[in-house]
Structure 1
Amino acid sequence: MRFGIWAAMLAAALWGGPARAAWMEASSEHFVIYANDSEKDITRFAQQLERYHAGMAYVLGSQVAKPSPSNRVTVYVVKNAREVRQLHGGDNKFVGGFYVPRAGGSLAIVPAVQSANGAVTWSMIILLHEYAHHFLISTNVAAMPRWLSEGSAEFFASAKFEPDGSLWLGRPANHRAGELFYAQDVTAADLLDPTEYDKRKHTTYDAFYGKSWLLYHYLIFGGDRKGQLPRYTDLLAKGRGQRAAALEAFGDFDTLEKDLDRYLKQRKMTAVTLKPEKLAIGPVSLRALSAGEAEIMPVRIRSRRGVTREEATTLLVEARAVAAKYPDDAAVLAALAECEVDAGHDPEAIAAADAAIARDPSQVNAYVQKGLALFRQAEENEGDETARAAAYKAARAPFIALNRRENDHPLPLIYFYRSFVEQGQEPPKLAVDGLIRAVQLAPFDLGLRMTLGTTLLRLGRSPEARIVLGPVANNPHGGGMSAFAHRLIERMEKDPSWKGEDLGKEMPEDAEGEGGEGG
């Protein structure tokens, strides 16, 4: 998602010193962190992330419902930036971390993050920027223009953690100073009227992120434009176009540009500091991973990231070797089940998942992987209607069991809906309501939003569909899926009676994006 765009600016700051002794899990209200690190450092890291969440909630006046355990963001801390690049894939040699938003499985993969008190380092900025996106999309029903999304994320990411538990937000984004002064210029008009910005060819790195931060910071702290940003967002929420809303709220773009230039050149900028009493956070639970969990962790991270079938076949050899050494470790068996699913070995995946659940019924991933394997078997079932119905009933069973253990896990709701669609049946109201609830639980999963948006369209609920699809259409890195959502919204606006009868005609060939439904 967004990591892939601006990670090219990253030179990740790494911890020095000797190798750490053991893999640890730090579990808190909104995060699960896995790192080969000391108890002290991983605890401080988890507390800082929780304080950051609390600080955003306080400043924005927004509260996010406590996520179910499996819907927290999982942070995997790997050895260095080189390992991050290998996991990310592609040929971008500057990638220093990335985030994948998935219902029931959002994850971030970062190098060792310097969590010492003080101003945050590059690697921490990356993580805080992406979590800001995660938080903002979880607390806003309406879609945000790209500049507002990126500017606000930059605003919060330049944080500073004090030893007494205080938190600074809105500090100058010094990491953007170079692009603001030396990169290709981006004007306020470019930000506020994206049609003009998009008309130009962007062959070199420009100041979009820096200028977005500057405009957001100015509207928050500038003083002479108080109330204009809420006015702007209110106009957008009422359906006003981006350019029209900006002109009504901010006035002449050239005047705004001159004001921004003066603001950038001033010697000091305002920031906000939040004392510890305003940042109430819950406890951080620590657990040392078992020997088997620690040994299979590299396999688990690669599988969680996502692999091709060829990569999965190679990875499975490693997973089976670890499982042979630790045949009674439920976490190892659950990881093995995921590798078997990735490699297309459904019976073996089901056997490994059953073995994991038998040893530890709390192994959530084992239920998920068993369900995925059974769903694939059901999809391939060529029997009569009765046989297919029985296969899908069996496929639903692990997700139903998971739902009983974790009522707000989104995947059981998603696959309950899919079990009807994949049989060619009209999903009942209960299944559609479950899909709506899944989006409420995981609004950051754009693929899931796409599924719900097209479902609501076919049901004749186009006003709701437009709201659901807004963040997909406005995602600047969504590729074909974003273009598809944008076309659907335009068509619904032109023809409110349209129910997607010829939906396929609107779909670009590359209408896929990051953020699936698990697996």
Structure 2
Amino acid sequence: MRFKMVAAVLSVFLWPGLAHAAWLEASSEHFVIYADDNERDITRFSQQLERYHAGMALLLASKAPVPSPSSRVTVYVVRNKREVQALHGGDNKFLGGFYVPRAGGSLAIVPTVDSGNGAITMSMVVLLHEYAHHFLISSNSMPMPRWFSEGAAEFFASAKFEADGGVWLGRPAQHRAGELYLARDVKAADLLDPTEYDKSKHTAYDAFYGKSWLLYHYLTFDVARSGQLGRYLALLQDGKGQRDAALEAFGDFDVLEKDLDKYLSKNKMSALKLTAEKVPIGAISLRALPAGEAAMMPVRIRSKRGTSPEEAPTLLAEARTVALRYPGDAAVLSALAETEYDAGHDKEAIAAADAALALDPKQVNAYVQKGLALFRIAPEADDTAAAYKAARAPFIALNRIENDHPLPLVYFYRSFVEQGEKPPALALDGLIRAMQLAPFDLGLRMTLGHALVGLGRRDDARTVLLPVAYNPHGGGMSDFARKMLDRINKDPAWKGEGDESEEASEAISE
């Protein structure tokens, strides 16, 4: 009898009424959540995310340190799925949430989440899936083929939270049942040898995600295959190609395919239940947003997501309206500075940031926006050296407040490069540290990889670039990282010169 998987249905919940909800901030070790919700629900949501992190850390034996405050993932909870889709852009009517990895500002945007009974909505699955990617790339620099990255993310995202604080991981991915049974099939050989998969045009939806989950789940739990997944990863780490590593670790692909079919047909599948004692978490701090900060929150979310030149003036007008009502709120002025910067008004951004810092010298975003604005105007200054020195000042001040914020380290390095000067060793060390603090920022990895190639540090560059090349979502940056790795392997004397240097700059700014 085939294993019966019931496809999960995306639930849409009503937005909590203002009578019992207001904008709250829930702050924990790895997340900051903003939601127009009540204290009970946002606290439970925060605890679940922290226990999910703790569960992944336990199972993957991760010893990653607690991130600095600005390196945590910020989760913005909006009214419904339609708002998520509008913020994301495009026309994906199935989108239930999304994640943007960024040094000093990683964020996720999801609709209202209701997991009070332990079950999770599809929007929560999306968030957990994307956080799994964030966790995996933050925990190690090993090469992760697309099937492995997506299979692991699906494996962990199929979670369930118990009322007593326990968490289930590795449950059957019920939300992938439809594609496993109805979508165009993807063979194990397609997953393990990307050249085979890429031969197809993929004009129709296929079972790639579902089959990746199935293979990861099978290799994790099947006793006869014990140790094979670890062997496969070790072979990849040693430089073996994906197909060769898979054949050596798993054996004949046709046999593996038949074993997967049998595994999917089982009446029951294994899962891991972790008791609350095994996934301890720290305290959750709650803060009710003041009236001004709450009024600015819709603007802030859109600004943090990123605005186009066409959208920026409208958003700025909204921000200025709120700022006129709350001129004494430092968070409001800090958000205003960001919208001024997004609209191209550098002097106004600096003025708003200065006003915010005069009220509250710990407004991190105000330092960032002032620094960004000063960097943008520096090339046009009569004395560029003095202008770049001034542009570094806000980031240096921020570094004193939050020593492990990655952006001061990034812009210290950039202040030399943008002047056409060779960065000193201290600046390169800072860039390396920034990558360690924000390993999920692929643009930062490209910048560092290109710098290391220029210095002839081929092995270090390869380590930095591998996660970009294996990015499961692909894209131009991933394509160029693979080109750089091929050039490094074929031409030991190459130090980034030629057409590749210009293409690298385009990839970095992607």
TM-score for both structures, normalised by structure 2: 0.96
1:333 aligns to 2:333 (yes or no): yes
Residue 360 of structure 1 aligns to which amino acid in structure 2? Answer: D
Structure 1: gaps of 5 or more residues: 1-8, 515-519
Is the CA contact (8 Å cut-off) linking 2:28 and 2:285 kept in structure 1?
A: yes
Separation in structure 2 between the aligned mates of residue 512 and residue 112 of structure 1, nearest angstrom: 34
State whether structure 2 residue 414 is matched by structure 1 residue 429: no
Measured in 1, the distance between the counterparts of 2:449 and 2:284 equals 37
Name the counterpart of 1:479.
475
Secondary structure (helix, strand or coil) at the match of 1:82 reads: helix
Conservation of the 8 A alpha-carbon contact between 2:71 and 2:438: yes
Amino acid at match of 2:13: W
Aligned counterparts of 1:224 and 1:299: Cα–Cα separation in 2 = 54
Three-state SS of the structure 2 residue aligned to 1:43 is: helix
Per the alignment, residue 136 of structure 1 pairs with 136
Which amino acid in structure 2 is aligned with residue 269 of structure 1? M
Query: Which is worse superposed, 15-24 or 95-104?
Result: 15-24
Q: How far does residue 507 in structure 1 lie from its aligned partner after superposition?
A: 2.6
1:28-47 correspondence to structure 2 within 5 Å? 28-47=28-47
* Cα distance per residue 1:436-472 (max 9 Å; x no partner): 0000000000011010010100110111111111111
Q: CA deviation at 1:15?
A: 2.5
Aligned pairs (5 A) from 1:334-413: 334-381=334-381, 383=382, 387-413=383-409
Structure 1 range deviating more: 144-153 or 111-120: 111-120
Q: Could you tell me which residue of structure 2 aligns to residue 448 of structure 1?
A: 444
Contact 1:77 1:110 (8 Å CA) reproduced: yes
| 1:18 to 1:455, Cα distance in 2 relative to 1, 3 A | closer
2:22 match: 22
Other-structure match for 2:3: none
Match of 1:4 in 2: none
Which residue type is aligned with residue 292 of structure 1?
G
Deviation at 1:484, TM superposition (A): 0.7
Q: Shift in Å at residue 510 of structure 1?
A: 7.2
* Letter of the structure 1 residue corresponding to residue 360 of structure 2: D
Q: By how many angstroms is 1:334 displaced?
A: 0.1
What is the distance in 2 between the residues matched to 1:513 and 1:111? 29
Secondary structure of the corresponding residue to residue 295 of structure 2: helix
For residues 104-139 of structure 1, what are the alpha-carbon distances to aligned partners after superposition, in whole Å with 9 as ceiling and x for unaligned?
000000000122132322111010000000000001
Aligned to 1:83, what secondary structure does the other structure show? helix
* Cα offset, 1:512, TM superposition: 6.1
Q: Where in structure 2 are the equivalents of 1:40-189 lying within 5 Å?
A: 40-189=40-189
Which residue of 471, 474, 494 corresponds with 1:498? 494
Q: Give the Cα–Cα distance (whole angstroms) in 2 for the partners of residues 477 and 225 of structure 1.
A: 28
3-state SS of the aligned residue for 1:475? coil
2:436 corresponds to which letter in structure 1? Q
Please state if 1:285 is matched with 2:285.
yes
Task: After superposition, give the CA deviation of every residue in 1:238-289 in whole Å (9 maximum; x if it has no partner).
Answer: 0010000000000000000000000000000011101111111000000000
Shift of 1:505: 6.8
Give, as a single letter, the amino acid of the residue that structure 2 aligns with 1:320.
R
Shift of 1:310: 1.8
Deviation at 1:504, TM superposition (A): 3.1
Q: Distance in 1 between matches of 2:8 and 2:485?
A: 35
Q: In structure 1, the residue corresponding to 2:50 is in which secondary structure? A: helix
SS in structure 2 opposite 1:136?
A: helix
Distance 2:502 2:232 in 1: 31
Q: Deviations over 1:387-415 (max 9, x none)?
A: 11000000000000000000000000000
Q: CA deviation at 1:374?
A: 0.4
Partner of 2:4: none
1:300 aligns with 2:296: no
Helix, strand or coil at the partner of 2:367? helix
Assess if the C-alpha contact under 8 Å between 2:16 and 2:37 holds in 1.
Answer: no
Take 1:115 and 1:127, find their aligned partners in 2: how far apart are those partners?
A: 13
Equivalent of 2:454 in 454, 458, 479: 458
Alignment of 1:201-350 (within 5 A): 201-350=201-350
1:128, 1:157 within 8 Å by CA — same for their partners in 2?
Answer: yes
Residue identity opposite 1:31 in structure 2:
F
Residue identity in the other structure for 1:14: V
Q: Matches of 1:510 and 1:199 in 2, distance apart?
A: 28
How big is the shift at 1:11? 6.3
Task: Give the Cα–Cα distance (whole angstroms) in 1 for the partners of residues 386 and 392 of structure 2.
Answer: 10
Identity among equivalent positions (%) equals: 72
Question: Compared with structure 1, are the counterparts of its residues 107 and 240 closer, same or farther at alpha carbon in structure 2 (3 Å cutoff)?
Answer: same
Per the TM alignment, residue 513 of structure 1 is displaced from its structure 2 partner at its CA by: 7.2
> Structure 1's 17 and 96: CA in aligned 2 closer, same or farther, altered over 3 A?
closer
In 1, Cα distance between the equivalents of 2:437 and 2:274?
28
Q: CA offsets per residue over residues 121-174 of structure 1, 9 Å max, x none?
A: 211101000000000000111120000000000000000101111110000001
Offset at 1:509? 10
Contact 2:149 2:472 in 1 (8 A): no
Which one is further off, 134-143 or 12-21? 12-21
Cross-structure match for 1:6 = none
1:39-59 residue CA offsets vs partner (Å, 9 max, x unmatched)? 000000000000000000011
Q: Which residue of 2 aligns with 1:470?
A: 466
Measured in 1, the distance between the counterparts of 2:181 and 2:466 equals 33
Cα contact 2:164–2:276 (8 A) shared by 1: yes
- Structure 2 Cα separation of the partners of residues 456 and 369 of structure 1: 28
One-letter amino acid matched to 2:11: A
Structure 1 residue 500: Cα displacement = 1.1
Shift of the 243–203 alpha-carbon distance from structure 1 to 2, 3 Å rule, reads: same
1:54-80: CA deviations, max 9, x gaps? 000011111221111011000000000
